[in-house]
Amino acid sequence: MSASADIVAVPEYITDEFFGLQDRWVQTAPGELTHYHELGEGTPILFLHGSGTGVTAAANWWLNLPALSQVGRCIAIDSIGYGQTVVADGTPYGIRQWVEHAVRTLDALGIEKTWIVGNSLGGWLAFQFAIDHPDRLLGIVSMGTGGARLTGALKGHSNPVLTREGVRDTLELFVVDKSLVTEQLVDLRYQAALNDTATDRLAEVVAARDRDRTELPLDFEALAQLDIPVLLIHGVQDNVIPVSRTWDLLNAVPHADAHIFSQCGHWSQVERASEFNDVVARFLLERDIRDDSSPTRRGTS
């Protein structure tokens, strides 16, 4: 294959105006073009989404990026296998593959160290990132951290139904306040699940995620060695990942704090968006996120 064949043309795609976010693209590997959104300046904050049907960076973080861009350089990516990110033929999926994609994105953007804010699967990735690349990480904010044993509601989450009603059922599983699951949001998530770059990958990425619950669960002995600030966020009524998951992590990670939302499900960044943004911003600012005395870039973005 020639070098020119490895260069991917930017797709003709525009994120729906509902989300209020501009599209950006960066080549992260031969044949791989990463789709992302960026707001703000200063210390990098990488946002990693969850794994629900029709998930995208925009659909996970649209209520958070504008507020949190006031405290740092917010970068929200579509992980490989999700959203509009273009992958090379034969690209494998799994926890370490998603982590390495995040590293490639940081390298392509010239970022040496970053915070990670992760939701569900994204939180699982954040902690695996900390284990595999501790020198690249400033700290973690994780909500409803993924990787829990496949029981209860998780079994339904592992068999997504690719219909409009299936998407609605998934979104309603995420929240206590079902009024948040509007017709427009359901339509947008359903269309995202049907787009040409996502349709054939759904079963493959779900299978890879659930395989790694057994093959690559978080190493709690390694987590006990982490020397970074960590904030764990959870909704009491989370029907996807039980709140006990946060308690287990609190008992393992030396510098972890927690914030628990009442009357809140798995989607705390949406269901309690304003309070969520305040909690995360305060946590980051209290840890001198604006201190640029140490290098955070490898070059220019």
In the residue annotation, 49 being an active-site residue is answered as no
In the residue annotation, 288 being an active-site residue is answered as no
Cα separation, 193 vs 207, whole angstroms: 16
Q: Which of 120, 157, 212, 268 is catalytic?
A: 120
In the residue annotation, 266 being an active-site residue is answered as yes
Instruction: Mark 160-197 as b/e (b = at least 16 C-beta within 10 Å).
Output: beeebebbbbbbbbbbbeeebbeeebbbbbbebbeeeb
Q: Which of 234, 238, 259, 268 is catalytic?
A: 238
From residue 14, alpha-carbon distances to 25, 99, 246, 258 in Å are 11, 26, 36, 36
216: how many CB neighbours lie within 10 A of its CB?
A: 14
Cα separation, 24 vs 280, whole angstroms: 24
By the 8 A CB rule, do 83 and 13 touch?
no
| Closest C-alpha to 235, from 262, 257, 269 | 262
**Active-site residues: which are they?**
120, 238, 266
